[in-house]
């Protein structure tokens, strides 16, 4: 896996890719835990590849309010259930929220709201797979690996830019 790190308005983030697909996007406070979990047989290089350059550019555009959708090849590692949740998260529009229950219903498993929360917690590609847009049934902020302050900041960023027009490049 190739990994690169970049500073963002909410702190340093790492992005990992394997075979030209993004497999990880994580907050640096997870870095030691993540590095400790890598086995000696895993090949990890800290270097920037073409896809990591593209991810860095898109993250920068997102934080500037210029990007609402990421256009990156993704290959998150997880169970079939987790991947179904993560795919459902990709349908939650920029600047909006959905509840864990709504995601459970979207994946045709209406009794799985708690399991959806677990899958959100295990989301290996934060921001790009927007688990920060998922809230409690009571419409309050709940759970976010980076902390509720960052979740609130991201939602406010999206609300601020949601209705502004993005200029068309000439």
Q: pLDDT of 36-65, one tens digit each?
A: 666 555 677 777 899 999 999 999 999 999
Number of H helices, E strands in the chain: 6, 6
Q: State how far the Cα of 123 lies from the Cα of 154, in Å rounded to an integer.
A: 16
Tokens encoding 67: 């990007």
> Cβ of 51: how many Cβ atoms within 10 Å?
19
Active site residue 122: no
The pTM of this model reads 0.85
CB 59 within 8 A of CB 22: no
Q: Any idea which architecture 80-162 has in CATH?
A: Orthogonal Bundle (1.10)
Q: State how far the Cα of 28 lies from the Cα of 21, in Å rounded to an integer.
A: 20
pLDDT bin (cut points 50, 70, 90) of residue 145 is confident
pLDDT bin (cut points 50, 70, 90) of residue 32 is low
Q: Which residues pair with 15 in a beta bridge?
A: 4, 25
Where along the chain do its domains lie? 2-63, 80-162
Which is catalytic among the residues 103, 131, 134, 154?
Answer: 131
């Amino acid at each position: 896996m190739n990994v690169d790190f970049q500073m963002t308005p909410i702190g340093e983030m790492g992005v990992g890719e394997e075979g030209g697909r993004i497999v990880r996007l994580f907050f640096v406070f997870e870095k030691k835990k993540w590095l400790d979990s890598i086995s000696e047989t895993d090949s990890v290089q800290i270097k920037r590849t073409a896809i990591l350059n593209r991810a860095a550019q898109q993250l920068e555009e997102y934080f500037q309010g210029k990007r609402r959708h990421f256009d990156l090849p993704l290959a998150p590692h997880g169970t079939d259930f987790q991947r179904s949740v993560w795919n459902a998260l990709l349908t939650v529009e920029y600047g909006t929220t959905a509840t864990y229950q709504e995601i459970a219903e979207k994946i045709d498993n209406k009794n799985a709201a708690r399991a959806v929360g677990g899958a959100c917690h295990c989301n290996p590609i934060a921001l790009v797979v927007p688990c920060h847009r998922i809230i409690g049934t009571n419409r309050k902020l709940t759970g976010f690996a980076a902390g509720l302050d960052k979740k609130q900041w991201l939602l406010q960023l999206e609300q601020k830019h949601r209705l502004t027009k993005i200029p068309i490049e000439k």
